[in-house]
Every structure is written in structure tokens, then in C-alpha cells.
């Protein structure tokens, strides 16, 4: 009998090959041929699941966003649940830390995220994905800060729109610094910077 292949599993396996090539050699070298070789497939097999290179890049970026989003969503649901009795400051820190490369897995994701979002400047098919990632992150942070203000955890005169932008920029900056200067921007340093920033929002 012919082997039954799960199309979605195969597409994700090809996306994983994209990630490995991009992390090792740069996204510019993630051609269909190189990705097929990395995945151990014939290039015709890759073309069976992706019409062209652009479709493959879009799927890979969506897969990266899905992976990051699922992890963040777990923390968000826990923090924003109306019935939650958790330590909200600690839960907020845990949620925001998911945006930072604090371990090997998140560092790998950060490298890929920076690679794809930088490529979106010139690869037009990736721009909508990069914009959505930014919008989704800012929307979640706005919601978290708004809920904290409603609960009395933030200074009442806090400008939520401005502070959401400031916190998003802080997280983005730490991610870039951690990818480019990992010896200087260590997990401990990133946690300290994030905690200090949250202190300024809560009045201490």
C-alpha cells in the first residue's frame, strides 16, 4: 500500500526546514531547492505542497507566529480570566517574558522572528504578516495594561495607548539586543529591565 502522508504535517516539516536554513544561512538562502534538500525531499515534493517560494515563506512565517502565539495565549488566558486569583504582577511578568529570548527555544524563535520581520521590508508578501504580528502584540499589551489599570494596579493617570507603545518598543529592543549582543543582554538583564519598567508603571 502507498504510504499515507498527512499534508499539514508535511507542510509543517517543510517549514521546520525553512527555519533551520534561515537560522544557519540566512533567509535569502532558503530557496525551494535548499529547503527541499534540508527536509530530505525532492524539490517536486515541496512544490506539491507549495506553489512557489512566496507561498512557502508566508506559510513558514505563519507557522512561526502560530507557535509563539499559542504560548503567549496560554499566559494571557490565565492572567485575563475574570475568575483568576493569581498574583497579577507575577503573571504579568510571566506573560511579557514570553516576548523575550530567555532560553534556547525562545532565542531560536527570536532569531527567526527578527529574520522574517526584517525580510518583510523588501519581500512584500511578508509585510501583512509582519504588520499583524506587531498589531496583535500591541493589542494584547494594551489589553493587559488596561486591565491592570482597571484593577487599580497602575497609576490612574497612565496613558494606556502611549504606555502600550513604550512597552512594545522596550520588548522589541530587548529582543534585538539579545539576538545581536547575547553576552551583554543576558536573560537576567532582560528580566531586570522589564521589572524596572513595570515598577515605573505601578509607582514602585
Q: Report how far Cα 182 is from the mean position of its chain's Cα atoms.
A: 18
CATH of the domain at 45: 1.10.10.60
My answer on whether 155 and 91 are in the same domain is yes
The range of the structural domain enclosing residue 87 comes to: 60-202
Q: Is the pLDDT of residue 1 over 60?
A: no
Q: Is the pLDDT of residue 81 over 90?
A: no
My answer on whether 72 and 141 are in the same domain is yes
My answer on whether 12 and 69 are in the same domain is no
How do residues 153-204 score in pLDDT, each as one tens digit? Answer: 898 889 999 999 999 999 999 999 999 999 999 999 999 999 999 999 988 6
**Helical ranges in 85-186 per DSSP H:** 88-97, 104-119, 127-150, 160-180
Q: What is the pLDDT of residue 61?
A: 97
Q: Is the pLDDT of residue 2 over 60?
A: no
Cβ pair 55, 63 in contact under 8 A: no
Q: Is the pLDDT of residue 28 over 70?
A: yes
Q: Is the pLDDT of residue 20 over 80?
A: yes
Q: Enter the DSSP assignment of 2.
A: P
Domain count, the chain: 2
Rounded mean pLDDT of 64-85? 88
Dihedral class, residue 26 (left if φ above 0, else alpha if ψ from -120 to 50, else beta): left
90 lies in a domain?
yes
55 lies in a domain?
no
Question: How many Cβ atoms are within 10 Å of 92's Cβ, its own excluded?
Answer: 22
Q: Please, what sign has the CA dihedral across residues 30, 34, 38, 42?
A: positive
19 lies in a domain?
yes
My answer on whether 1 and 99 are in the same domain is no
Question: By C-alpha distance, which of 112, 111, 129, 108 is closest to 120?
Answer: 129
My answer on whether 23 and 69 are in the same domain is no
Longest dimension (CA), the chain: 69
My answer on whether 45 and 135 are in the same domain is no
Q: Is the pLDDT of residue 100 over 80?
A: yes
My answer on whether 25 and 81 are in the same domain is no
172 lies in a domain?
yes
Torsion of CA 9, 15, 21, 24, to 10 degrees: -100
Cβ pair 179, 111 in contact under 8 A: yes
My answer on whether 67 and 155 are in the same domain is yes
Interatomic CA distance for residues 146 and 82, integer angstroms: 14
Q: Is the pLDDT of residue 4 over 80?
A: no
The pTM of the full predicted model, rounded to 2 decimals, is 0.89
Place of cell 527555519: 19
- Taking all residues of the chain, what is their mean pLDDT, rounded to a whole number? 93
Cβ pair 53, 31 in contact under 8 A: yes
106 lies in a domain?
yes
CATH of the domain at 77: 1.10.357.10
Amino acid at each position: 500500500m502507498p504510504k499515507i502522508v498527512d499534508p499539514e504535517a508535511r507542510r509543517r516539516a517543510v517549514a521546520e526546514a525553512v527555519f533551520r536554513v534561515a537560522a544557519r544561512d540566512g533567509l535569502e538562502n532558503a530557496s525551494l531547492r535548499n529547503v527541499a534538500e534540508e527536509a530530505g525531499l525532492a524539490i517536486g515534493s515541496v512544490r506539491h505542497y507549495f506553489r512557489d517560494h512566496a507561498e512557502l515563506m508566508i506559510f513558514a512565517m505563519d507557522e512561526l507566529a502560530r507557535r509563539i502565539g499559542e504560548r503567549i495565549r496560554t499566559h494571557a488566558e490565565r492572567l485575563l480570566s475574570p475568575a483568576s486569583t493569581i498574583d497579577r504582577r507575577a503573571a504579568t511578568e510571566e506573560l511579557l517574558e514570553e516576548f523575550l529570548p530567555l532560553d534556547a527555544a525562545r532565542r531560536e524563535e527570536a532569531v527567526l522572528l527578527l529574520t522574517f520581520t526584517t525580510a518583510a521590508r523588501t519581500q512584500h508578501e511578508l509585510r501583512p504578516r509582519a504588520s499583524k504580528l506587531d498589531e496583535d502584540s500591541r493589542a494584547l499589551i494594551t489589553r493587559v495594561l488596561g486591565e491592570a489599570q482597571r484593577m487599580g494596579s497602575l497609576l490612574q493617570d497612565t496613558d494606556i495607548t502611549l504606555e502600550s507603545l513604550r512597552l512594545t518598543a522596550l520588548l522589541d529592543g530587548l529582543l534585538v539586543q539579545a539576538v545581536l549582543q547575547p553576552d551583554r543582554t543576558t536573560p537576567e538583564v532582560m528580566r531586570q529591565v522589564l521589572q524596572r519598567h513595570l515598577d515605573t508603571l505601578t509607582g514602585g
